[in-house]
Amino acid sequence: MLVRDAMSSVVLTIGPTHTLRQAARLMAARRVGAAVVLDTDHCGIGILTERDILVSLGAEQDPDTETAGTHTTGDVVFAAPSWTLEEAAEAMTNGGFRHLIVLDGHEPVGVVSVRDIIRCWAPVRTRAAAMAG
């Protein structure tokens, strides 16, 4: 199975000046765990995850003044739609993260998460176990 089969094509794109509260509201409304941060002036494409927001809140930072750009991961590992889920899982494991931005050329076309991979793998594993038993 490939990343294109598992990824969410709902890509929430925000700018670096969005506050963390704005980002959290948009992420909750779209039911996504990460936002693609487009910063054409600096790092290009980055990612802001729910974990980044939690770390900021845990540090007692103000979500109404803290910006996405301050908490964005800019050194992003990108996936291609043609990657296998195994390749995506390996990249996530090696990097210690739970989301990958999926690029087709230079355009974000999706986000694949650990949850997406598990959702795809679980039925396959269940069917294999049933056939073996």
Domain ranges of the chain: 3-132
Give the pair of three-digit tokens for residue 65: 């003044």
How confident is residue 44, by pLDDT bands cut at 50, 70 and 90? Answer: confident
**C-alpha span between 71 and 53 (Å, rounded):** 8
3-state helix, strand, coil in the chain (%, to 5): 45, 25, 30
Q: What is the pLDDT of residue 56?
A: 98
Note the pTM of the prediction, 2 decimals.
0.85
CATH number, span 3-132: 3.10.580.10
Q: What is the pLDDT of residue 133?
A: 60
**C-alpha span between 130 and 122 (Å, rounded):** 12
Query: Per residue in 74-120, pLDDT tens?
Result: 788 999 999 999 999 999 999 999 999 999 988 899 999 999 999 99
Question: Is 76 in contact with 46 (CB distance < 8 Å)?
Answer: yes
**C-alpha span between 1 and 7 (Å, rounded):** 11
- How far apart, in Å, are the Cα atoms of 62 and each of 17, 56, 95, 114, 132? 14, 8, 28, 29, 54
